[in-house]
Amino acid sequence: MEISAQIPSFKNFFSEKKGQNIGVVRSTNYEIPGIFRLDSGKTLSRIRIEYEMYGKMNADKSNVILICHALTGDAHAAGFHAGDRKPGWWNIVIGPNKAFDTEKYCVICSNILGGCKGSTGPSSIDPETGKNYGISFPVITIADMVNAQKKLIEHLGVKQLFAVAGGSMGGMQVLHWTVSYPEMVKKAIAIATTASSTPQQIAFGAIGRKAITDDPKWNGGNYYGKERPVQGLALARMVGHITYLSDASMQKKFGRVIQQEEADIDRSPNFQVESYLNHQGDTFTKRFDANSYLYITKAVDFFDLSKNGSLIEGFAGVTAKYLVISITSDWLYPPYQSQEIVSALTANGVDAKYEEIRSQYGHDAFLLEEGQLNYLIRGFLSQILVSDIMNQNFYSVSRDETIENASILMVKKKVSHLPVVSEDGKLEGIVTSWDITKAVACKITELNEIITRDVKYVHEGERIETASSIMEKYSISALPVIDSENRIIGMVTSESISALIGRFS
């Protein structure tokens, strides 16, 4: 028995080192050779895919992680473009000592097919006409986006991705990857997403598209080289942005702060939240194409991985190990939708882990909650063993030792646990400082009388989550580490585990 210690309660491991930024990066463009056939049966030629790569591939290219961006994202996920003041959209988790550690992994992010940030989309030039595609661009699906990514990955010589990860629409791509190409994905991380778009989600997409197509400047999609439908696109963004927030985050950020006291129905916003949404809409129109917005939101609406009405059947054949993360305040893709994904995966025998990010930020938390994201993702990607953290310079005693000598050794070496070992080094028991304190009070002198023989231990090849769980369950703060022949080879303590839990801010 011992005095209860503060046992580190954690589910996954990640480094104690602070994450670092990548630095200046640049995009690369790959043109898919030949004809690219779409889900609809229509074809495109000379498709270009914009992508960025962070870190280096190892010799067998087994350390590659593909990042899939959300609705209006792009290939610039991390680092800085020359002259930019803001980093890539997921810089908080990509870089040295971050969840997607670029000193260990080669991380790739590409702009989706249908996008407007370097990859082929409605704003691109149709090689057959020499003009912008506009709405002559064929309808695309999430599957088409994934198939284009696969062409890129094959071009880079990667046979299997160590992981595919993404949030929101990026999560949909993750799901599709594991369904369409199970042999190519080892691990999958799907965050704040769904396996099938709901009527509510479709409704918000429909409002955004209506705002764009009702703008006279949209001109049937033929606005290139002319005045663009900025009012419609801005309104679409304003509506969409509301769904990315939560009531709690809006209350905290804006409350009912008045921007302008005098009511002006037609022009100036009265409340701070109105001004904020106007700014979001205006800023968005400077970086995004209205037609791309139409096509991509429609692809999201059509997304449905169920088969014959069954999500379990839809996930048949998936082999990737999964981490599915939801956000407590997300009302666009509520937690129950992530839970449905996990249920369907586990029904197929897939190793699927479910976690929740506790946040008031709403759907956008997958872009903001740095600490929780790094903790969960890094722990999932890492396989840290007891042998990585055990102390091999431990102290032990024999069962014939006196309590006095054991006590002196504990004080001198500043340890609270002494394994009791046989002559050949095998574990026979353990004595704690609490045992010795009790023995002194009871005037017991022989160590053999106070030894705990039912010892909890771990093997060097076990994961540190196992050691932590044992410590929590039995309220102990140290465990002997033994080999296959029951010989003690080290000690692992709650302090050594706590030292590994990095803190991101």
Q: What does the DSSP assignment read for 86-150? A: S--TTTTTBSTTSSB-TTT-EEEEEPPTT-SSSS--TTSBPTTTSSB-GGGSPP--HHHHHHHHH
High-pLDDT (> 90) share of the chain, % = 82
The mean pLDDT of 292-307, rounded to a whole number, is: 98
| Among 27-36, 82-91, 333-342, 494-503, the least confident range | 494-503
Q: pLDDT grade, residue 14 (50/70/90)?
A: very low
How much is the pLDDT for 279?
A: 94
Last residue of a domain, one of 381, 410, 426: 381
Last residue of a domain, one of 381, 397, 414: 381
Q: Do the domain assignments include residue 15? A: no
Residues 320 and 457 in one domain: no
The mean pLDDT of 260-287, rounded to a whole number, is: 82
Q: pLDDT grade, residue 496 (50/70/90)?
A: confident
Is 363 an annotated catalytic residue? yes
Q: Do the domain assignments include residue 17? A: no
Residues in the chain, overall count: 505
Indicate which residue of 15, 110, 168, 382 is catalytic: 168
* Predicted structure pTM score: 0.75
The mean pLDDT of 366-393, rounded to a whole number, is: 88
Q: Do the domain assignments include residue 3? A: no
- Please, what's the b/e burial string for 151-183 (b: 16 or more CB within 10 A of its CB; e: otherwise)? bbbeeeebeebbbbbbbbbbbbbbbbbbbbbbe
Return the number of other C-beta atoms located less than 10 Å from residue 485's C-beta. Answer: 9
Q: Domain holding 73: CATH number?
A: 3.40.50.1820
Residues 350 and 481 in one domain: no
Return the number of other C-beta atoms located less than 10 Å from residue 483's C-beta. Answer: 15
Q: How far apart are CA 499 and CA 389, in angstroms?
A: 10
The mean pLDDT of 10-31, rounded to a whole number, is: 74
pLDDT, tens only, 117-130: 999 999 999 999 99
Where on the phi/psi map is residue 226: left (φ > 0), alpha (ψ -120 to 50), or beta?
beta
Indicate which residue of 69, 176, 363, 417 is catalytic: 363
Residues 243 and 199 in one domain: yes
Q: pLDDT grade, residue 266 (50/70/90)?
A: low
Higher pLDDT, 195 or 442: 195
Q: pLDDT grade, residue 15 (50/70/90)?
A: very low
| Residue 395 reports pLDDT greater than 70 | yes
Q: pLDDT grade, residue 387 (50/70/90)?
A: confident
SS (H, E, C) 356-389: EECCCCHHHHHHHCHHHHHHHHHHHHCCCEHHHC
Last residue of a domain, one of 365, 381, 397: 381
| Residue 11 reports pLDDT greater than 60 | no
Q: Do the domain assignments include residue 176? A: yes
Residues 140 and 56 in one domain: yes
Backbone angles phi, psi at 159, to 5 degrees: -90, -35
Among 204, 226, 228, smallest CA distance to 292 is for: 228
Give the three-class secondary structure for 244: helix
Is 168 an annotated catalytic residue? yes
Domain around 249:
28-381
In what helix (H) or strand (E) does residue 474 lie, and over which residues does it extend? helix 464-474
How much is the pLDDT for 443?
A: 87
Residues 370 and 454 in one domain: no
How much is the pLDDT for 122?
A: 99
How much is the pLDDT for 13?
A: 40
Q: Domain holding 451: CATH number?
A: 3.10.580.10
Q: Do the domain assignments include residue 166? A: yes
Q: What's the chain's average pLDDT?
A: 92
Contact 244, 363 (CB under 8 A): yes
Residues 312 and 445 in one domain: no
Q: Do the domain assignments include residue 505? A: no
The mean pLDDT of 166-195, rounded to a whole number, is: 98
Residues 163 and 71 in one domain: yes
Tokens of residue 274, six digits: 């109105």
The mean pLDDT of 189-218, rounded to a whole number, is: 98
Please enumerate in sequence order all residues whose Cβ is within 8 A of that of 384, keeping only pairs 6 or more positions apart, or say none.
13, 463, 464, 500
Residues 99 and 235 in one domain: yes
| Residue 85 reports pLDDT greater than 60 | yes
Indicate which residue of 301, 330, 364, 435 is catalytic: 330
pLDDT, tens only, 399-447: 899 999 999 999 999 999 999 999 999 999 999 999 999 898 898 888 8
Q: How far apart are CA 122 and CA 370, in angstroms?
A: 34
Q: pLDDT grade, residue 464 (50/70/90)?
A: confident
The mean pLDDT of 95-115, rounded to a whole number, is: 97
How much is the pLDDT for 499?
A: 66
Return the number of other C-beta atoms located less than 10 Å from residue 100's C-beta. Answer: 27
How much is the pLDDT for 7?
A: 42
| Among 88-102, 287-301, 449-463, the least confident range | 449-463
Burial status of residue 349 (CB atoms within 10 A of its CB: 0-12, 13-18, 19 or more): exposed
Residues 398 and 363 in one domain: no
Q: How far apart are CA 505 and CA 502, in angstroms?
A: 10
Identity at 118, one-letter amino acid code: G
Residues 134 and 177 in one domain: yes
Q: How far apart are CA 280 and CA 67, in angstroms?
A: 25
Residues 363 and 410 in one domain: no
The mean pLDDT of 196-212, rounded to a whole number, is: 98
Give the three-class secondary structure for 164: strand
Residues 412 and 326 in one domain: no
Q: Do the domain assignments include residue 10? A: no
How much is the pLDDT for 267?
A: 62
High-pLDDT (> 70) share of the chain, % = 92
Q: How far apart are CA 319 and CA 341, in angstroms?
A: 14
Q: Do the domain assignments include residue 433? A: yes
The mean pLDDT of 214-219, rounded to a whole number, is: 98
Is 388 an annotated catalytic residue? no
User: Residue written as tokens 């088409």?
Assistant: 144
Q: How far apart are CA 501 and CA 371, in angstroms?
A: 11
How much is the pLDDT for 8?
A: 46
Tally of structural domains, the chain: 2
The mean pLDDT of 43-48, rounded to a whole number, is: 97
